[in-house]
Amino acid sequence: MNSGFAVLLLALGIGVVAGLRSLTAPAVVAWAAHVGWINLHGSPLAFMGSVWAVAIFTVLAVIELVADQLPSTPSRTDPVGLSARVVTGALSGACLAIAGGGMLWVAALAGALGGIAGAFGGYQARVGLVRTLPVPDFAIAIPEDLVAIGLGVFLVSRF
């Protein structure tokens, strides 16, 4: 990929995925690096393609998907949840910058901003849909999970 603008859009997009589900974005990026969809070899983020990174991020992402269904789970817009989304959005965006030949720190910033946008946008969409439609929260949460996973896979497959 040679377009810096395209890399920034992909970084922003993977940040939005992190905003929806904080650990889905790095799990998808780790899998993409591991199977060779994106190349992180020789970079400071090469560890993301390791078996360990894939295993850890996948397990944490699955735990997050389950925990999201619990009523006691704090809001994604609370400081801790939002901070996690900023960090994982930045990490995932930086990985896509390396894979696409973009500017690492600019893409990391785009990923972080995408994490914030995804967190607040996803929260508003979910709350609005639950209030508008006569369905329980999980009926919106599960499709949101699928959107996050699908969007993440789509974005990392663009390389």
- Longest Cα–Cα distance of the chain, Å, equals 51
Identify the pLDDT of residue 2. Answer: 57
Helix (H) or strand (E) holding 108: helix 104-132
pLDDT value, residue 57: 98
- Containing domain of residue 87, as a range? 4-156
Rounded Cα gap, residues 92 and 45, in angstroms: 10
Segments of the chain scoring below 70 in pLDDT: 1-2
Q: What pLDDT sits at residue 159? A: 87
pLDDT digits (tens, 9 = 90+) for 57-86: 999 999 999 999 988 999 999 999 999 999
Predicted local distance difference test score (pLDDT) of residue 71: 87
Domain tally, the chain: 1
pTM: 0.96
Q: Phi-psi bin for 23: left (phi > 0), alpha (psi -120 to 50), beta?
A: alpha
